């Protein structure tokens, strides 16, 4: 398991359909070569900008969109927003550390994961499989950058807690906070002295009560509500 996190449900019979979006043809070609050798992954389309990505996504209905950010015509953040709004596929944003605003804006646009552009091939495959199976994925170091931005630069007061957040049990709130710190299920289990299967149950319960797609969006909501504070992700009083 790589240092990224996610829960991969039992395998499916048909390959995961992937759309590659990047304005550099060589980058798209490199990703396509890495993915095409896998039996459970199929590249169904490519796009050189965000506007083209939306059109191709409508035509191909991919399971996963690997989305660059800086592109002509329409950037990857707005393309993500449109693809998610139309439920055309789940988006993994390709990002770098030097632009934290991309991480924040990508989360707000509905991205289900983030992948560093210098990621190893196995990390790319892990991200595609995890997000394609319905989960979200964040590299812990990316999670921490998002936390720093959302908690350290927030100028507006926290949004009111939704009913779903108030319905979480004390244990579920602890699990949510640890997710927000970028811990995997195994790491959460070790921290709370629980079995990993129990942690998975708590994670699923959190997602259901919060009415969110995946753990990425659950973490966003927790930060927006002030549940997780800057001091190493502690629960707010």
Quote the number of domains for the chain. 2
Nearest to 3 by CA among 133, 141, 98, 191: 141
What span, in angstroms and rounded, lies between the C-alpha atoms of 26 and 120? 17
Tell me the whole-structure pTM to 2 decimals.
0.68
- 26 Cβ partners below 8 Å, 6+ apart? none
- Does residue 92 fall inside a structural domain? yes
- Does residue 198 fall inside a structural domain? yes
Based on the fold, state whether residues 57 and 123 are members of the same structural domain: yes
Based on the fold, state whether residues 128 and 159 are members of the same structural domain: no
> What strands, in cross-sheet order, belong to the sheet with 41-47?
41-47, 16-21, 64-67, 90-95, 113-116
- Return the number of other C-beta atoms located less than 10 Å from residue 235's C-beta: 14
Contact present, 133 and 8 (Cβ < 8 Å): yes
- Does residue 112 fall inside a structural domain? yes
- Does residue 109 fall inside a structural domain? yes
Do β-strands 64-67 and 113-116 pair in parallel, antiparallel, or remain unpaired? unpaired
* pLDDT tens for each residue of the chain, 237 residues long: 333 444 444 455 789 999 999 999 998 998 999 898 888 999 999 999 999 999 999 999 999 999 999 899 999 999 999 999 999 999 998 876 556 667 778 877 888 888 777 778 888 888 888 888 776 666 555 655 665 655 555 545 556 666 778 889 999 989 988 887 767 788 889 999 999 889 989 988 888 888 887 777 777 777 777 776 554 443 333
What span, in angstroms and rounded, lies between the C-alpha atoms of 147 and 204? 22
Structural domain range at position 107: 16-137
What span, in angstroms and rounded, lies between the C-alpha atoms of 201 and 229? 25
Nearest to 71 by CA among 102, 92, 57, 50: 50
Contact present, 170 and 192 (Cβ < 8 Å): no
- Return the number of other C-beta atoms located less than 10 Å from residue 12's C-beta: 11
What span, in angstroms and rounded, lies between the C-alpha atoms of 52 and 59? 11
Structure tokens at 163: 């009913």
Say which DSSP state 137 is in: B
- Does residue 99 fall inside a structural domain? yes
Based on the fold, state whether residues 121 and 175 are members of the same structural domain: no
Read off the CATH number of the domain in which 21 is found.
Answer: 3.40.50.2300
Query: How would you classify residue 22: left for phi > 0, otherwise alpha for psi between -120 and 50, otherwise beta?
Result: beta
């Amino acid at each position: 398991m790589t240092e990224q996190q996610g829960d991969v449900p039992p395998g499916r019979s048909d390959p995961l359909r992937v759309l590659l979006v990047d304005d550099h043809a060589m980058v798209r070609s490199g990703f396509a070569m890495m993915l095409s050798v896998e039996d459970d992954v199929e590249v169904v389309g490519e796009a050189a900008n965000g506007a083209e990505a939306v059109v191709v996504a409508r035509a191909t209905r991919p399971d996963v969109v690997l989305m660059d950010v800086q592109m002509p015509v329409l950037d990857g953040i707005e393309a993500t927003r449109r693809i998610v709004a139309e439920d055309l596929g789940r988006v993994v944003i390709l990002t770098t550390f030097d632009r934290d605003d991309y991480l924040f804006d990508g989360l707000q646009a509905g991205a289900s994961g983030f992948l560093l552009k210098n990621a190893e091939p196995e990390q790319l495959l892990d991200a595609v499989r995890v997000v394609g199976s319905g989960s979200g994925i964040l590299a812990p170091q990316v999670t921490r950058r998002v936390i720093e931005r959302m908690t350290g630069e927030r100028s507006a007061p926290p949004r009111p807690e939704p009913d779903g957040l108030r319905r979480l049990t004390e244990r579920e709130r602890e699990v949510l906070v640890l997710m927000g710190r970028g811990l995997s299920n195994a790491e959460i289990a070790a921290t709370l002295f629980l079995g990993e299967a129990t942690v998975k149950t708590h994670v699923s319960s959190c997602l259901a009560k919060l009415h969110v797609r995946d753990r990425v969006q659950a973490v966003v909501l927790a930060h927006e509500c002030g549940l997780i504070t800057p001091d190493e992700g502690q629960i707010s009083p």
